Amino acid sequence: MHSSDKFHDECGVVAIFAHPEAEKLAYLGLHALQHRGQESAGIVSSDGLTLRQHKAMGLVADIFTEDVLSRLRGSLAIGHTRYSTAGDSALLNAQPILVQSNKGAIAVAHNGNLVNAHTIRQRLESQGSIFQTNSDTEVIVHLIALSREQTLPDAMADALRRVEGAFSLVIMSADRIFAARDPRGFRPLAMGRIRATEGHTRDTIVFASETCAFDLIGAAYERDVKPGELVVVEAGEITSRFYSTSTAQSSCIFEHVYFSRPDSVVFGRAVQTSRENLGRQLALEAPVEADLVVPVPDSGVTAAVGYSAGSGIPFRFGLIRNHYVGRTFIEPSQSVRDFGVKLKLNPVRSLLEGKRVVLIDDSIVRGTTSRKIVRLIRGAGATQVHMRISCPPTISPCYYGVDTPSKKLIAANKSVEEIREYIGADSLAYLSLDGMKKACGEGAKTSYCTACYTGNYPTEIIDVEEILPAATRR
């Protein structure tokens, strides 16, 4: 299997309260969030009394058959689709995590990464706690169970005050749904509503990492769960509390640059707007004389639309993506140069031949894929290839739920000119930090975490080795 030279998305979470087919809406919501994680998925449902669970490795549509969903029938459900950022990529770490505790049965699904999970886990294990997984999410479950607070919402608030880092959580008991975000608001979490139809007395309340999940299930976006907020939904009532004092907001700007789907509203802002603005700003900062603007599909498409609009250079799909590449494939015994990239992307010779091309992408991680794509376009007859990246060079690892290959970041070790030389482009330019913030609307409503571009982290830093997947540490 060829791994993509991209940052891997963190995870996606969804929650459904008060719907006769809650498990099916959770399944559809996870399907819309599949881009956020493709390793495992799970759903926990409740009929008001009993929690039922199913989780497996693989893609959402393959895991949840009609037969599986029929065994999950309930009026409440939470779901999770996962890419491993902490803990092995294995079924034992698939979420939601379901436990029986002194506070009753609870299930937890988590998007993000806790930077102090390792320290807390060591302390709890020394006191006799037994962990079933090596996922940082299980730390939250133990803290809830061990809290001296009497009610479940109070115990959750107590637990959340003890963890540090990025977390957007959906939690479920037999008859309630809870949703919470960390005080800095690193990861998105939106709340929506499906109006009650005839024969139903209650509106359905839904939560999801991105609003594109709402569109599929017919829910209207109402608002984001606020940083530091714990929302409790029960018996037709929504209550809210802030478990933490306010702190500087640090929402992940890469959600707008790359992770989120363009049709989502994230951090209260349309992702499509941000991406087009990134391209327009890039055209202002890094103009070039050329004949075509060509995106690297799919990640560079929206920024390329903006670059084309800002520069007046025609936009063309000069690279066609094969959407049906499986997880494994048979390579020819006689090696074909750049086979992995050719399997996924094919240049359109009739468009590219004899043309000066501006190639747009959202990032360069190791540079290996960019180098192959530049070679593909030259091989199709382009006379010049000018690479433009719709964010600044990524120089630092992320501690907040993004799988950043810290030792392989090309921009951490090479200058822009050295990267240009390595990938074989005629020119290379990145968007400036200020230009990126401007394009994504940083201001009174939103302030962003840009640590991966600056090395300035909003939380106390620990050794990255502590939060790497266990398989990587070994």
Q: Which residues are the active-site residues?
A: 11
Residues facing residue 170 across a β-bridge:
109, 179
Q: What phi and psi, each to the nearest 5 degrees, are found at residue 343?
A: -65, -30
Comparing C-alpha atoms, which of 365, 449, 369, 457 is closest to residue 406? 365
Comparing C-alpha atoms, which of 118, 227, 127 is closest to residue 182? 227
Give strand ranges (E) for 102-147. Answer: 104-114
Q: What phi and psi, each to the nearest 5 degrees, are found at residue 375?
A: -65, -40
Cis (ω within 30 of 0) for the bond into 361?
no
Regarding beta strands 237-242 and 229-234, do their DSSP bridges make them parallel or antiparallel, or are they unpaired?
A: antiparallel
Say which DSSP state 165 is in.
E
Comparing C-alpha atoms, which of 194, 187, 165 is closest to residue 33? 187
Helix pair angle (117-126, 137-146), 10° resolution: 50
CA 374 → CA 312, 360, 469, distances in Å? 22, 11, 32
Residues facing residue 107 across a β-bridge:
98, 172
Give 428's Cβ-side CA count (13 Å radius): 24
Comparing C-alpha atoms, which of 425, 347, 355 is closest to residue 383? 355
As given in the structure block, the two tokens for residue 452 are 């991966």
Contacts (Cβ under 8 Å, ≥6 apart) of 463: none
As given in the structure block, the two tokens for residue 107 are 């299930």
- 3-state per-residue secondary structure call for 425-440: CCEEEECCHHHHHHHC
CA 94 → CA 149, 287, 387, distances in Å? 28, 46, 38
